[in-house]
Amino acid sequence: MEQQTKTGAGKVYLVGAGPGDPGLITLRGKYLLERAEVVVYDYLANRRLLRYVSPSAEMVYVGKRGGVEHSHTQDEINAMLVEFAGRGKTVVRLKGGDPFIFGRGGEELEVLAAHGIAFEVVPGVTSATAAATYAGIPITHRGYTASVAFITGHEDPNKSTSNIDWSKIATGIGTIVVYMGIKNLPHIVRNLIDHGRSADTPVAVVRWASTPEQQSVVGTLATIVDDVRESGIKPPALIVIGEVVKLRESIDWFEKRPLFGRRIIVTRTREQASELVAGLEEAGASCFECSTINIEPVDDYRILDEALERINEYHWILFTSINAVRHFFKRLYAKGMDARDLKGPDIATVGRSTAELLLEYGINADLIPPVFTGEGLAQSLLDLGVEGRNILLPRAQTGREILPETLRGAGAQVTVAPIYRNVPPQGRKEELRAELERGKVDLVTFTSSSTVKNFLAMVAAENQQELERLLSGVKIAAIGPITAKTVTDAGLKVDIQPEIYTIPEMIRAIIEGLRSD
Ligand code: SAH
């Protein structure tokens, strides 16, 4: 499939990463990242895209932050691409936005072409369209403008001749979008006004478009220099000039989302679906995902294995977590069994998410308690009568004893089968501390007691006073009463708690709880 120009030569894929939001890379770009052996990326490409890259791939950061840190010169980057491809590697050169729009993509490809190296280019969403879109400015609009120009603002204002013909741009184009123009903003504004553009023309400056850090300011050619200075907006930012900017008043949507600008620490297990993060981000929040637990299999499955041998003797199987469902089926399949072998016992889950996952394994839960806790489940079972019943509880190695004890107390035989372990992860401790020290965090979310305990262990505060200092101004959301109790037992206060213990309800409660601030 690979087109090769020289025997043994690799290929370079010049891929547009999009403007910032990692969701804006193309499917082709993602596909290539997954298959790359080497990824050469720079400052504007979102690091979160690197999660698609295979762990065995080599990653090279080449910086290039407009004048601030030139970690590699363009010549060095070109040489690097030639070198990797020459060694037969599949290289992805990942660039912010679109590689061919002020991205020096053309220069890199000329060098590759000169060396006879095969290449492909994958376009990306350029930051101009992203900035306009996410600032609520249609870059063209029938009622306002029929033309757009993308220009660079990077030109040295002291240069005697300019590549930009300001006299034509100023009055000949409807919407003007300026890349790399913040430093030269006064010069750009002056040129446009001097060449006949009205000083009342609306202008928007948008920084880090499409990301949770997006910041924007709107003014006119007459005011924008002062507006930008006052707002403190720094590069990377785009300048959008033209009558279309007015439309933002009615269709600004991105920055209006309920959690926009909120910083939330989401504690969770690495394996858990990122439903919570996705929901919070959809509402505009910027999430710091902090894995406080790693889920690992147990060394010894003896109890579960024995139970599976005589699974038809059980009246109930109880699933109290998503991880229990996953690890149970993993083991079931490993033993050559499947859902058909479970037709004997009735099956209960602690809540709705667990039941939904169970359904993916082909089983409709027979019982979901109205209250999604171990106690709630125990109560529902007691109501049905458990005396003399055989109950299998596959779960974490260390778990709460309330459910098995209550059931045993009512005369049931309960087999507790440990099938996974919660292990606190090592990394990210420093990052978490730094995040809290910065003082920008609005909220921490907890979805189980273990996340609370492990979070506290990771924060590693010297004493209660230090813990309170680190968490001052930070609200706490707990998914349910058990988790909440673990929080209050640690001397902290729960600010947000949903009435129904599910992730969607938790998201709703967070939106509600932070709105009133
Ligand atoms: N190839 C890129 C542009 C690279 S030039 C693209 O197609 O978008 C670098 C300039 O792009 C920055 O100085 C800034 O003006 C702009 N830029 C890139 N990403 C941006 C973002 N997320 N928000 C605002 N401006 C951005």
Each residue's pLDDT expressed in tens, for the chain with a length of 517 residues: 444 444 467 999 999 999 999 999 999 999 999 999 999 998 888 888 998 999 899 999 987 555 555 578 889 999 999 999 999 999 999 999 999 999 999 999 999 999 999 999 999 999 999 999 999 999 999 999 999 999 999 877 777 777 889 999 999 999 999 999 999 999 999 999 999 999 999 999 999 999 988 999 999 999 999 999 999 999 999 999 999 999 999 999 999 999 999 999 999 876 665 889 999 999 999 999 887 777 888 999 999 999 999 999 999 999 999 999 999 999 999 999 999 999 999 999 999 989 999 999 999 999 999 988 899 999 999 999 999 999 999 999 988 899 999 999 999 999 999 999 987 776 678 889 999 999 999 999 999 888 898 899 888 888 999 999 999 999 999 999 999 999 999 999 999 999 998 899 999 999 999 986 6
Q: How far is the CA of 207 from the centre of ligand 1 (A)?
A: 9
Residue 511, token pair as written in the block: 């939106």
Mutate which of 44, 49, 207 for ligand 1 pocket (most atoms within 8 A of beta carbon): 44
Reduce the DSSP state of residue 393 to 3 states and report it.
Answer: strand
Give the number of the atom of ligand 1 that is nearest the alpha carbon of residue 124: 7
- Give the chain's radius of gyration (CA, Å): 29
Question: Which are the contacts of 92, defined by CB distance < 8 A and separation ≥ 6?
Answer: 12, 13, 15, 32, 33, 36, 38, 39, 40
Looking at CATH, the fold of the domain delimited by 263-293+426-515 is given as Rossmann fold (3.40.50)
Residue nearest to atom 11 of ligand 1 (CA): 179
CATH class of this structure's domain 2-125: alpha beta
Pocket of ligand 1 (CB under 6 A): 19-20, 44, 66, 95-98, 101-103, 126-127, 131, 179-180, 206-210, 235-238
Residue nearest to atom 24 of ligand 1 (CA): 237
∠ at Cα 209 (187, 203), nearest 5°? 40
Give the number of the atom of ligand 1 that is nearest the alpha carbon of residue 235: 13
- Length of the chain equals 517
Comparing CA positions, the residue from 64, 72, 27, 28 lying closest to residue 45 is 64
Mutate which of 48, 129, 179, 182 for ligand 1 pocket (most atoms within 8 A of beta carbon): 179
Looking at CATH, the fold of the domain delimited by 129-256 is given as 3.30.950
∠ at Cα 292 (291, 298), nearest 5°? 100
Residue 430, token pair as written in the block: 């420093």
Domain ranges of the chain: 2-125, 129-256, 263-293+426-515, 296-423
| Same-fold call for 129-256 versus 296-423 | no
Q: How far is the CA of 143 from the centre of ligand 1 (A)?
A: 27
Q: Tell me the catalytic residues.
A: 42, 64, 180
CATH match for 296-423 among 3.40.50.2000, 3.20.20.70, 3.40.50.720, 3.40.50.10090: 3.40.50.10090
Residues 67 and 60: their CA atoms lie apart, in Å, by 19
